[in-house]
Amino acid sequence: MADPYQPIYLDTAERAALFIDSITGVRELAIDTEGASFHRFVDRIYLLQLSTQHHSAIIDPLHAGTLPKLGALMEDREVEVIFHDADYDLRLLRQDYGWHATHIFDTRIAAQLLGIPAFGLAALLDKFFNVKLDKQHQRADWSMRPLTPGMLDYAAQDTRYLLDLRDELRTGLESVGRMSWAQEEFERLESVQFAPDDPATSFMRTKGARDLKRRELAVLRELVAWRDARAAALDRATFRVMGNEAMFEIARSHPTTREALGAIKGVPRGILERHASDLLDAVKRGLDVPEADLPRFPRAARWDRDPDFDANVTRLKAARDAAAQRLKLDPGVLCARDRMEAVARKKPKSVEELQEIPELRRWQAEVLGADFVAALRN
């Protein structure tokens, strides 16, 4: 493992540009980002961490601005960009800057495909390098300024060892013949797009919304719209305005008075004192929605009512679990349930037919194809 080096903190456009110029020509670059979704309404990048084999930097984008040369470096197919758990970073980089990585190595995915049970970055650095990460800043508010020395040191650790970790994991994947599996997963990551929530339907993705009746859903829709507007005005995470459980209870109980609203557990006192009328108005709007216009979840597709569907998924799961035990992989990593459901819907009669199912990875069809076809045949 390369010796750790002291990262530099870059908080001006000039210094950041000089650093990016100095690393132009590298063929591998570790990147991480810090957002503030736990604290702010709209998540964005508040810190960028970069490491090469010889240099490491923390860039403050609030002061350094956009860095087109860094974007060009990340989009260069000759440059391997190393992330840990890339999906979140890729979405933020796409959202904030329009950058699109084209040659990715994700150390989390690599660790999972090796069957390593603890695949968080801290666990991996401990396992391979005996490096202990301080977790005290995991939920830090990265939008705050100035950042403390402890926060900067914490952020620097996220990329400092990623290149060495990549080397260890790549060697492991190659030794068991799974590098092609990882490569296919990395290629899928390259197509990650930033897609903002549609406010007309985003309330339906609130955990627990499917348990509500249609009238209750209409009330929830109005409550979520109010909470989002309030959170946006405060630039505060929505749960910091009011939690989901309180919202669901309001949607179910339909309070019409301030007293009834105040009796609901989880409604913050400040909200009750200043916005009780707004919440009661939201409830009324939901109750006034005509019956024909009440929101509903999309009907289940017809194939869900296939009498053999559940039994076929069970057979596929048994075949998947047996293969996972043989390969020493987590079953969900080997093949997630939604992909087995896609196979159950198509009912392939041969490995060739199974390979045509778009939800299934090529490597999954290769590893599980014969077992899945046999399971469906039985």
Residues of the chain with pLDDT under 50: 1-4
Confidence (pLDDT) at 39? 95
Confidence (pLDDT) at 301? 56
213: burial class by Cβ within 10 Å (0-12, 13-18, 19+)? exposed
- Region of 281 please: left (phi>0), alpha (psi -120 to 50) or beta: alpha
Confidence (pLDDT) at 1? 43
Confidence (pLDDT) at 303? 53
Sequence letter at residue 110: A
Alpha-carbon distance of 224 to 219, in angstroms, equals: 9
Q: Domains of the chain by range and CATH?
A: 8-189 (3.30.420.10), 202-293 (1.10.150.80), 302-377 (1.10.150.80)
Q: Report which of 67, 78, 73, 91 is spatially closest to residue 190, judged by C-alpha positions.
A: 91
Alpha-carbon distance of 200 to 80, in angstroms, equals: 39
Q: In what order do the strands lie in the sheet with 80-83?
A: 8-10, 56-59, 47-51, 28-34, 80-83, 104-106
At 145-180, the pLDDT tens digits run 999 999 999 999 999 999 999 999 999 999 999 999
Confidence (pLDDT) at 300? 57
Q: Is the pTM of this model over 0.85?
A: yes
